Structure 1
Amino acid sequence: MSIFLWLLFLPAVLCQLSSGSLKKFPNALALGNNFDPIIAAYWTGLPHHRRTPFSVSPDGKSAYLAYLSTSYASVFIQQVDPATFAAVGKPVEISGAREAGGLVARNDGFAVLVNIDNPSTEHPISTIVRYKGGTKAWTRPVNGPGVHESDGLSSSPDMNGDLVYSEAAGLYAAYFVVTAYTGGASGHFGDSIQYVNDSGEIKNIAGASSTFGCSHNTGIALEEADAAPFASVCAEDHGAIWLNTKTQYMSGVKIANENTTNGVSGEPMGGMGGSYSSLALFPGTSTYIFAWQSRGAVSLTRDDWMGDGYTSCSPRWLNHNVAISMLKDKSTLQGPEAISKVGAASGDDQVTWITKSSTTDQQNVRVAALDSSNAIVTWEQLSNPHCDPVPLSCTGTFSGTFFQQVDSQGKKVGEAISAKDVLVAGDMQRIEGKGVCWPYVSMDWDLSQPKDRGTYVSSMSFACIGGSGSGTPAPTSQQSTATPSETAPPVAGPSETKTESSAASVPSPATTLVTPEATNMNTRSPATTPTSSAPYAFTTCDAKNGCPDGLRCYSFKSGYSVCIPA
């Protein structure tokens, strides 16, 4: 990191957040093209923010925003004035791109990670496109035909991923979800980490590159480091979140035990439209902060699928809370890792909780470093949540976006502030004088039912927190964020009686998803337009389906089938 950038990130925030800390710039950016702000989760059809990748150049003079056209077949990259958030010039169009999954602003242009249709495969291929001075410099597919063929070929029908760049290493790193279509993993979902140099050449780096890693990973976190491997986190579908910088697999340092089901990792880092601003480096240090949504972990059991050393768990709550983990460096936690002790009643004692509620749900958890010793953790809160006993999501009434300042030791600084008219839908980036800024669409945010598309918009709003830049102060309300000791319910041990409401109860046994490995059922397909307001709308399966004894098969309205306790 250059001396200029290091000085830029010296501690500037000496006071805790207040209502005046959050400023908004409504509809500041005219897009020039329409944009659909909603993407549906493929398991439930519930709405997520369609990601709008946002990045600021190292010299602070330019910024870029990427968004998907309403044809769903082109990605536009618009240069943005970081002082006013107004458009600069005409956008660059990447035809055939289905989604943008990461953006890096450079002093001379940008690089973007997209999935682009490939005529020789049935699905799009993850691709890095580099522009310099307004002209395309190179295009580099990072999976698909010709890429690590001996390991099996993969495609990326969904663009869950991220792209980062290290000036010190001279490398881009792309971390993205894949499905294999040749080789031993054919038909399965995993993830891949690929490194590309400044000339657009893939560099196969031992101990850093990966062709097929964490199973059914819908939670990716990636951040730059001075040398490969870069810091990475994955959420897999067998019961854990891993700091897998050194392994690039579902192993390494266990950050958390999580309730999962085969095929479902629980969207801890956003799921569809997610995998951004979940892991942040405190500039000028080796310290990182990771944030995610968690249901907690109780009643650890052996994961018979993976074998010894791997565990499954039941959730402490059916609703989600905000969790953080502090990293001493890119491969080491500041505190203890999560246990893997079969029979343990509690599996989340190592977690640092920002919230610990049994009556509200927390979603869309993000984090960004404000300076070298402060970070902002943000999330959306739902009141009166309805959460079903599978590791998916919750519906409820949106009650605001919350912002909590924490220090580099993971301690909360002051109280959280909140606003109902500000959302977080794109990467959170530091802008000198403004603090941490991000793009979002000004709209009424409805999380009460499934929705696969939104109302098209032609402008983008921005908000900033923790800086001195001018803008419209966002109407906010302060709310005390309870500490774990204030609201933590007792751990539901094997012999205890559950007395809490359905939103906080701990289902037992843990649910199991029927997957192709066990049956002929399909694990995923595009979500269909909802026909009712219920997010899950279970119906009993009408065929014998291989559910274990004591479990009954139910079908989602979108076509998926699960085994849940009879």
Structure 2
Amino acid sequence: MRGSFALSLLSAALGASAAVTESNLQTHVDVLALDSSFNPIEAAYWTDYIHHRRTPFAVSPDGKTAYLAYLDASGSDVHVTELDPTTFEATGTTVTVSGGQEAGGLVAHNDGFALLTNEAMPSGTTNAPPSDTPVPVLHRYTNGKQTWKTWLGGPGVHSSDGLSASPDLNGDLVYSESAGLYGAYFVVTDYSGDASGHYGDSIEYVADNGTLVTISGASSSWGCSHNTGIAFEAADEPPYASICAEDQGAIWLNTKTQGMTNDGVKISNENTTNGASGEAMGGMGGSYSGLARFADSTRYIFTWVSRGAVDVTENTWMGDGYTHVSNRTNPRNVALALFTDKYTKVGKQATSTVGAEDGDSQVTWVTSGSNDCSNAHVATFGNSSALITWEEISDPICEYIAMGCRGQFAGTYFQQVDSDGNKVGDTFKSTDVYVSGDMVTMSDGRICWPYVNMDWDLSEVVWSADSSKYTKKMSFACIGGSSSSSNSTTTASATAKASTSASVAVVSSASAAVTHVAAGAASASVASETVQETPVAPSSVAAVAAEATSAVVSAQVPSWTVGGEARPSTFQTQVQVPTQAAQAGSNWGINKGFGQEFGQKSGQSEEEHEGHCQF
């Protein structure tokens, strides 16, 4: 995913050299021994089709240490394993974050790591979500010990907008060294306020000392309705580059708006039904390595899968500027978009002209075949080219208008493109290498990622956890550099996933910010409403693990704001009815994850009515 933006000479040379080919694909099979079992399969929202379960991967800025995070096969506890970025073998001691329910994002530092996860709040916490519903939380570990822990939802966090939880994060974590800020983008459901029981997303920023910082024009308590896809990448200052797939008909570059208002940049028109838009960014577990920054620049590249768009009609529920479309194709193809900076798309936006026959004329397509494409990701080779990867299903069965497909796995495909989006060389594939964790740009110019060595079957649904698929080994693959054998176990040293180059610090010395003080983990009021004047500076970090504070910062941020704008209601969406084959082939009607009524148990079905999303 994110690599160091201090571009090495080797990286520059690779960007300008000949195209990578299959001979550049190196694998390190079963090289990392895990202390605990890992279930590599996750069920897709609504369909229960098979998805990879994400394993976040990150490398420290000095290139000496890497970390891999994975969810325990039990479904509780996230393990973070330290490994050698040269051999990919385990080093040090594995850290277990007890109670974590999702490995939602990972940033590596020279002295440790930060992990985004979700977990139930301590018993007795005032105003905690009901039924131990998990809340997003950021952990910072230094030299194997917890330095601080900051809740990103729950009591005390944007209380006036409604309290939120995250049964499924489906998001990502990034860090900007220049800003000194972590950025986390994730799915939320509110359990108080006007949006109670409904799903949206949230963007939160946390300072180096663990302070939750609210930044006008960057932070968001509720952005894109029923967000089923997130792409997020660091910038030199907030707001960080962000993209969402919402439930009303579009994919938005929402860096400026943090939401789905029509003054954002419409990247693509998508058919949206039952709160989904074709798993454009991977669906459940897929919101990583979808947006990448070219080194030493402000430019970004984004990839997603789409069925295309035809017959643009008005979205009367949302009003002017919002549209509905029909799918151009039944299977999905891979697309890309380029941005000159975090606000600006190269070329035209997607049309909002009602009556237009073509709703996708602005799209740059990477594929155009009859196979179904999914699990699309991208990472950059320095500042002049990028690698796009995806999976294909041959003769796909696509039973749902806005969900995924199932069928015979045809391989993982790779295509290099230049910084203008032109293909460099030919597409090549592998049938035994997959992308199931963050794609990291290494210091020698290669791109590496983790995966599980297994038979990958996309023809079935996930009825229940299959312990025969559990593993205690992790594999790694790399592309780039000189040709090597397909089972090479030698790589060059790596550098950071985590930090971007320095120029502007945003919260460098906020000396007296208004702070909402959070009590200790054992307290019955984890994030109280007490307000006091408290310095927010690195020196305020406790030597032992502590619940961090939250602050409101308005200085040194973009001059525009969206905090006071009225946002359109987004509690309504189209409803789809599956084909007979779909009804017979899966447990349709079980709204899982963020497509589930708050408090609804799996196995419950509900009557649906057109025009309303049963959430």
What is the TM-score when the length of structure 1 is the normalising length? 0.84
Q: Does 1:110 align with 2:74?
A: no
Q: Name the CA shift for 1:203/1:564 in 2 (closer, same or farther; >3 Å).
A: closer
Measure how far apart 1:263 and its partner are. Answer: 1.8
The corresponding residue for 1:448 is 459
The corresponding residue for 1:320 is 332
Query: What amino acid is aligned across from residue 270 of structure 1 in structure 2?
Result: G
List aligned pairs for 1:35-434, cutoff 5 A: 35-118=38-121, 119=123, 120-122=128-130, 123-251=133-261, 252-357=264-369, 359-433=370-444
Q: Name the CA shift for 1:468/1:107 in 2 (closer, same or farther; >3 Å).
A: farther
Measure how far apart 1:265 and its partner are. Answer: 2.9
Q: Name the CA shift for 1:249/1:8 in 2 (closer, same or farther; >3 Å).
A: farther
In structure 1, the gaps of 5 or more residues are: 475-514, 524-530, 540-555
CA contact (8 A) 1:434 1:464 kept: no
CA contact (8 A) 1:44 1:558 kept: no
CA contact (8 A) 2:46 2:588 kept: no
Measure how far apart 1:60 and its partner are. Answer: 1.0
Determine which structure has greater relative contact order: mean sequence separation of CA pairs < 8 Å that are 6+ residues apart, divided by chain length.
2
Q: Name the CA shift for 1:132/1:536 in 2 (closer, same or farther; >3 Å).
A: same
CA contact (8 A) 1:300 1:343 kept: yes
In structure 2, the gaps of 5 or more residues are: 489-569, 590-601
Deviations 1:208-240 (A, max 9, x none): 000011001010000000010000000001000
Measure how far apart 1:356 and its partner are. Answer: 1.0
Report the Cα distance in structure 1 between the residues aligned to 2:137 and 2:213, rounded to whole angstroms.
Answer: 15
Measure how far apart 1:396 and its partner are. Answer: 1.0
The corresponding residue for 1:491 is none
Q: Which has the higher strand share?
A: 1
Q: Name the CA shift for 1:57/1:439 in 2 (closer, same or farther; >3 Å).
A: same
Alignment partner of 1:466 out of 455, 477, 480? 480
Measure how far apart 1:202 and its partner are. Answer: 1.0
Q: Name the CA shift for 1:558/1:421 in 2 (closer, same or farther; >3 Å).
A: farther
Report the Cα distance in structure 2 between the residues aligned to 1:470 and 1:412, rounded to whole angstroms.
Answer: 23
Measure how far apart 1:431 and its partner are. Answer: 1.8
Measure how far apart 1:370 and its partner are. Answer: 1.6
- Sequence identity (%): 53
The corresponding residue for 1:549 is none
CA contact (8 A) 2:253 2:343 kept: yes
Aligned positions, number: 499
The corresponding residue for 2:605 is 559
Report the Cα distance in structure 2 between the residues aligned to 1:94 and 1:327, rounded to whole angstroms.
Answer: 37
Report the Cα distance in structure 2 between the residues aligned to 1:296 and 1:19, rounded to whole angstroms.
Answer: 29
Q: SS of the counterpart of 2:93?
A: strand
CA contact (8 A) 1:63 1:105 kept: yes
Deviations 1:125-156 (A, max 9, x none): 10010011211110001111111111110000
Report the Cα distance in structure 2 between the residues aligned to 1:538 and 1:180, rounded to whole angstroms.
Answer: 25
Report the Cα distance in structure 1 between the residues aligned to 2:441 and 2:584, rounded to whole angstroms.
Answer: 39
Measure how far apart 1:467 and its partner are. Answer: 2.4
Measure how far apart 1:559 and its partner are. Answer: 3.3
Q: Name the CA shift for 1:282/1:3 in 2 (closer, same or farther; >3 Å).
A: closer
Query: What amino acid is aligned across from residue 190 of structure 2 in structure 1?
Result: A
CA contact (8 A) 2:380 2:387 kept: yes
Report the Cα distance in structure 1 between the residues aligned to 2:199 and 2:582, rounded to whole angstroms.
Answer: 30
Q: SS of the counterpart of 1:277?
A: coil
Measure how far apart 1:205 and its partner are. Answer: 0.5
Q: Name the CA shift for 1:261/1:6 in 2 (closer, same or farther; >3 Å).
A: same
CA contact (8 A) 1:143 1:153 kept: yes
CA contact (8 A) 1:436 1:467 kept: no
The corresponding residue for 1:25 is 28
Query: What amino acid is aligned across from residue 129 of structure 2 in structure 1?
Result: T
Query: What amino acid is aligned across from residue 12 of structure 2 in structure 1?
Result: L
CA contact (8 A) 1:6 1:283 kept: no
Query: What amino acid is aligned across from residue 328 of structure 2 in structure 1?
Result: R
CA contact (8 A) 2:10 2:444 kept: no
